[in-house]
Amino acid sequence: MNTPQNLFNDLMDHFGTNSDEEVVTDGAGPDAGMQRQSLEETNVGQFYPSNSFATAVAGFREAAGERLGIRIPSESVKDIDLGRNLLRVEDVAPMMRPLIEERLLALSRLADHALVPSSLGTGYPLYKLCDVDLAFEGTIDVVVPSHKTSPDGLYKYPQNSILAGAGSAMMDPPAILVDHRAGEIGMEDVPPELAKMLGVVAHTDVANRGYGYWTMAMETVPRGGRADMDLNPAIQRAANSLEPWFSPTQWAPWSIESGDISVDEAVPTLADADRFAVVPEDVELGQHTDLRVVKCNVENAYVVAFWPLDVTWINEHVRCAGAHYIDTEIQDPGSPLHQVWKSHAATFGSTEPVERWEQFRADHIEPRLDRE
């Protein structure tokens, strides 16, 4: 049995032998070339929690920064295999908290803001349970749902459903919520695309995302051999075509499953998009009244938009409904979610899985829902 003591020893071994390798500061090692030296220092850093998706995104940070003309300060902690078990998350959180706090404090000395990419896997509840917001008050979560939690996949992937429901309930603002866009046309792979998106976001007014819930969209406009006059209409077309990267199907599958909302529910935005055009320094755009133009050291142009999401809708249909769904399922002996939780509880010696769930819910979920 993988006991809490064994898990503690493994965790200490993990960090004791590899801690120096975890630190990433400015993306420029001792052999960095002249191209990196000419990159602009951005005040928007990135923090990668112990989350496999975040770790994958981190692997593309440096290349994205070079493409976008910026050096991105960053800090991270290594991904830990916690077996998709929230009770293991609860067990290691006290040990992880000082490490995450230390890394965030280090990043706060290099950046004014920090984007924190994560998927709704085991690592996101771990990051939220560590509750180190005061270490760096300028962090903004960039959250991606599991690609396995759809209205018809909640029973098919019960471990993912538990993590998604708990992680959604633990979300708090400020956060940018974007769909997991695997399989979409033009989407080669999600992590490198998200790394590029995070780099483009650093060129925009990040301070304005420091409250509430947002979603966004972005499109690359290749420059190629186009003259400025040819780039203008392409940028405007891209701006006009942007739609929010947010769908109720991905973010509120439990509310669809229960019939509280429909599959084609409208995206719950509160206002028109805040739009930016990030363009090469030598490009002269015409008049774009609905776009804020940012000139910087980029080869192509990028159009990006941010929409404010309805906080009440998010709290009701994503956070509270997610918590209610997994609560109901775990208490049902016939549910696959109950069977998964029973197995997780047994790992920690509990023979009363429902009682153990109720304790976890009372300690870590209900207080967060009550804050809103």
Confidence at residue 225, expressed as pLDDT on a 0 to 100 scale: 72
pLDDT of residue 224 exceeding 90, the answer is no
Lowest mean pLDDT among 73-77, 154-158, 367-371: 367-371
Confidence at residue 299, expressed as pLDDT on a 0 to 100 scale: 87
Q: In the chain, pLDDT over 70 holds for what percent of residues?
A: 87
pLDDT of residue 90 exceeding 60, the answer is yes
Please compute the mean of the pLDDT values over residues 128-151 and round it to a whole number.
90
Mean pLDDT of the chain: 88
Confidence at residue 152, expressed as pLDDT on a 0 to 100 scale: 87
pLDDT, tens digit, 9 for 90 and up, residues 301-319: 999 999 999 999 999 999 9
**Residue 115, domain extent:** 4-370
pLDDT of residue 23 exceeding 50, the answer is no
What's the per-residue H, E or C state across the chain? Answer: CCCHHHHHHHHHHHHHHHHHHHCCCCCCCCCCCHHHHCCEECCEEEEECCCHHHHHHHCCHHHHHHHCCEECCEEECCCCCCCCCHHHHHHHHHHHHHHHHHHHHHHHCCCCEEEEEEECCCHHHHHHHHCCHHHCCCEEEEEECCCCCCCCCCCCCHHHHHHHHHHHHHCCCCEEECCCCCCCCCCCCHHHHHHHHHHHHCCCCHHHHCCCEEEEEEEEECCCCCCHHHHHHHHHHHHHHCCCCCCHHHHCHHHHHCCCCCCCCCCCECCCCEEEEEEECCCCCCCCCCCEEEEECCCCEEEEEEEEECHHHHHHHHHHHHHHHHHHHHCCCCCHHHHHHHHHHHHCCCCCHHHHHHHHHHHHHHHHHHCC
Q: In the chain, pLDDT over 90 holds for what percent of residues?
A: 71
Lowest mean pLDDT among 30-34, 113-117, 142-146, 202-206: 30-34
pLDDT of residue 32 exceeding 50, the answer is no
pLDDT of residue 33 exceeding 50, the answer is no
pTM of the model: 0.90
Which CATH number covers residue 200? 3.40.50
The domain tally of the chain equals: 1
Confidence at residue 80, expressed as pLDDT on a 0 to 100 scale: 86
pLDDT, tens digit, 9 for 90 and up, residues 170-179: 999 999 999 9
Per-residue pLDDT band at 188 (split at 50, 70, 90):
low
Per-residue pLDDT band at 276 (split at 50, 70, 90):
very high
